[in-house]
Structure formats: structure tokens, C-alpha cells
Amino acid sequence: MRTTMPTTAAADQAHEGSRLGAYLELSKLRLTMLVVVTAGVGYIVAAAGSISGAVLLATTLGTGLLSAAASTLNQWVEIDADTRMHRTATRPLPSGRLSGRAALTFAAVCLFGGTVLLLAGAGALTAGLGVLSFLLYVFVYTPLKTRTTLNTPVGAVVGALPPLMGWTAATGRIEAGGIALAGVLFVWQIPHFLAIAWMYRDDYARGGFKMLPVVDPQGRTTFGLILLYSLALIPVTLLAGVLAGAGWAYPVGAAFLGVVFAWLALRLNAERTRDSARRLFFASLIYLPLLLLLLVLDPTGSDSIGGVQP
């Protein structure tokens, strides 16, 4: 008995750790963290130095919980497709690590908790935008993935809402600066996700998803759009800096990052290989945090246009 009890306890701990990891995986933790960060940036920029820790926490945590709920329901709907795809077959639902009932319960708790947090700490407008984002992801974006290549821009709309939510949490209003930040996220997502879709186009085809690279095997439209949106990032990010009241360092840094990113998109358009798509994908993961960091670390401390006044 003495020798088996520690072993049993260790096994129980491992099981609980495994279940926790499965729930984190179900929430698409990396995507949810991106949502949390962009919502936080929207709040910090709009608050213009008058930051409330309680409001910031409610905004980011509430937005993260709604994102986790949407991601969970997305996987619950797509369990059959995920089973057919190599990159998703080991997810908690296809692999059987979690049941469908457990996933639905988790989604319901996250949806309720996130909505209540946003209502209580960030305001009705922010909560409304959060619920809208959830509904678009689950009931529009998810079914469109098997029907039309337009699922990508619809998904980009969903991903563009968190910084606007952060802005409204600080100001109580939808303003030009918040819309501009949402525009940056929308434009950035197109080359980011099309690069992923090109890398895994065969897998998406197995899953029955109508991603653009699946129906565009030569990549003419796919790489043309990647280049177009990568170039568009330069003026869009500069405009966002003006509307958000960024200092002189931001436009210099944003322009530099934009030129490098556009150059990689141009290379991808010329080479049209999986390795080039992977380079652009990883570059996008570096580009966005650096851009947001530049925006937050405003050296002038100037007020945003239409933002919170001191």
C-alpha cells in the first residue's frame, strides 16, 4: 500500500495536468493570447496614461474567455474535419482526450464568465462587441470555412474586434483611433492566414475546408492578395499611428517593419514555395508584437485623436 499510494497520487496529478493542458489546447491558447494582447493594447493606447488596472484586467480576461469559448465551439463543430487533418488530429476532441459534453460545458462557462466580466468591468458597448465577435466566429466564420474562400476576410473581421474592444473599454465610444487599430489587425491577418493556408493546403483539402490556396493551386490569387495586403499595411499602420496619437518613433519603426514585411511578401510572390510561405508566416509573428510595442511605448505621451482627455 505504501509503495502504491505515491504512484497513484503521481498518476492523479499527471491526469489532472493532462486535462488542464487539453482545456488550454481547446481554447487555442496562442490565438487567445494574441486576442488578449491586442485588446490590452487598444485599452492602453486609448486610455492615454489614465489606466485603470481593474478595467484593463476585466477587458483582457473577459475578451480572452470569449475567445476561448469561440475556439472551443469551433472545434466541437469541426471534430470530423479535424480528425481527417494531420495537423489537428491530435486535438483534444478528435483524439478523445476530452468529450464533446466537457467541451460544451467549458465553452458555456467561458462565454458566461467573459460576458459578465466585460459587462461589469468594461461596459455594455465592449461586452456587446465581444458577444458580436463570438457570434461571428461560431455562426458565420465556422460554417463558411467549408463553403467559400470568403471565410478568411470574415475571420479577419473577428480578429480585428479585440483592439476596438480595448478602445471602447477606455473611452465608452467607438472612435476613429479604435477603428484604425482594428484596421491594422484586419489587414495583417490576410497575409498571415493565407501563408498558413498555403503551407497546409493539402491538409485543408483533406478536411473539406475551402481555403483560397485549395481552390487556387497555382497561387496566383493567393500570392497576389498576400502582396497587396502586405503593402497596404504600410499606409494603414501609419494612419493608425496618427489617429492614436503616436510619437515620432512609431512611424519610423512602422515604416521599416512594413517595408521588410512587404519585401518578404514580394519574395513569396516570386518563389511560391512552402518555405517562403513559412518565412512570411514567422515574420508576421514578429512583425505584429513589434508594431504594437512601438505604439504602446509612445515617447511623446500625446493624446490620441478622439481618445481619453486628461
The enclosing domain of 74 has a CATH number of 1.10.600
Per-residue confidence band for 1, with pLDDT thresholds at 50, 70 and 90: very low
**pLDDT at 292 > cutoff 70:** yes
**pLDDT at 12 > cutoff 90:** no
Cα separation of 97 and 91, whole Å? 8
Instruction: Kindly state whether residue 112 falls inside one of the protein's structural domains.
Output: yes
Query: According to the model, what pLDDT value does residue 146 have?
Result: 96
The most confident of the ranges 8-22, 66-80, 238-252 is 66-80
Q: Report H helices in 140-248.
A: 142-144, 151-171, 176-199, 201-207, 212-215, 220-243
First to last CA, the chain: 67
Mean pLDDT for the chain overall: 91
Per-residue confidence band for 306, with pLDDT thresholds at 50, 70 and 90: very low
Per-residue confidence band for 16, with pLDDT thresholds at 50, 70 and 90: low
Answer for the pair 88, 156: CB distance below 8 angstroms, yes or no. no
Burial 149-181 (b: 16+ CB within 10 A, else e): bebbebbbbbbbbbbbbbbbbbbeeebbbbbbb
Sign of the torsion formed by the C-alpha atoms of 11, 17, 23 and 24: negative
Q: Identify the residue with better confidence: 49 or 182.
A: 182
- Cα–Cα distances (Å) from 261 to 277, 282, 299, 304, in that order, read 12, 11, 24, 26
**pLDDT at 92 > cutoff 50:** yes
Our CA angle for 72, 75, 80, nearest 5°, is 155
Enter the pTM of the model: 0.90
Q: Identify the residue with better confidence: 4 or 105.
A: 105
Instruction: Kindly state whether residue 11 falls inside one of the protein's structural domains.
Output: no
- Least confident among 1-5, 200-204, 213-217, 290-294: 1-5
Average pLDDT (240-251) is 92
Instruction: Kindly state whether residue 40 falls inside one of the protein's structural domains.
Output: yes
Cα separation of 68 and 59, whole Å? 14
Our CA angle for 263, 270, 254, nearest 5°, is 15
Instruction: Kindly state whether residue 3 falls inside one of the protein's structural domains.
Output: no
**How many structural domains comprise the chain?**
1
Query: According to the model, what pLDDT value does residue 17 have?
Result: 57
Instruction: Kindly state whether residue 5 falls inside one of the protein's structural domains.
Output: no
Instruction: Kindly state whether residue 4 falls inside one of the protein's structural domains.
Output: no
Instruction: Kindly state whether residue 50 falls inside one of the protein's structural domains.
Output: yes
Query: According to the model, what pLDDT value does residue 18 have?
Result: 84
Question: Residue 10 has which C-alpha cell?
Answer: 503521481
Per-residue confidence band for 228, with pLDDT thresholds at 50, 70 and 90: very high
**Which residue segment(s) compose the domain that 99 sits in?**
17-296
Instruction: Kindly state whether residue 1 falls inside one of the protein's structural domains.
Output: no
- Least confident among 21-25, 118-122, 297-301: 297-301
Query: According to the model, what pLDDT value does residue 2 have?
Result: 45
Cβ within 8 Å of residue 200, ≥6 positions away: 85, 87
**pLDDT at 5 > cutoff 60:** no
Per-residue confidence band for 300, with pLDDT thresholds at 50, 70 and 90: low
Cβ within 8 Å of residue 65, ≥6 positions away: 110, 111, 113, 114, 117
Cα separation of 252 and 257, whole Å? 9
Q: Identify the residue with better confidence: 196 or 309.
A: 196
Other residues' Cβ atoms within 10 Å of the Cβ of residue 218 = 9
What stretch of H or E contains 264? helix 249-271
Nearest to 32 by CA among 78, 81, 65: 65
- Least confident among 11-15, 120-124, 213-217, 238-242: 11-15
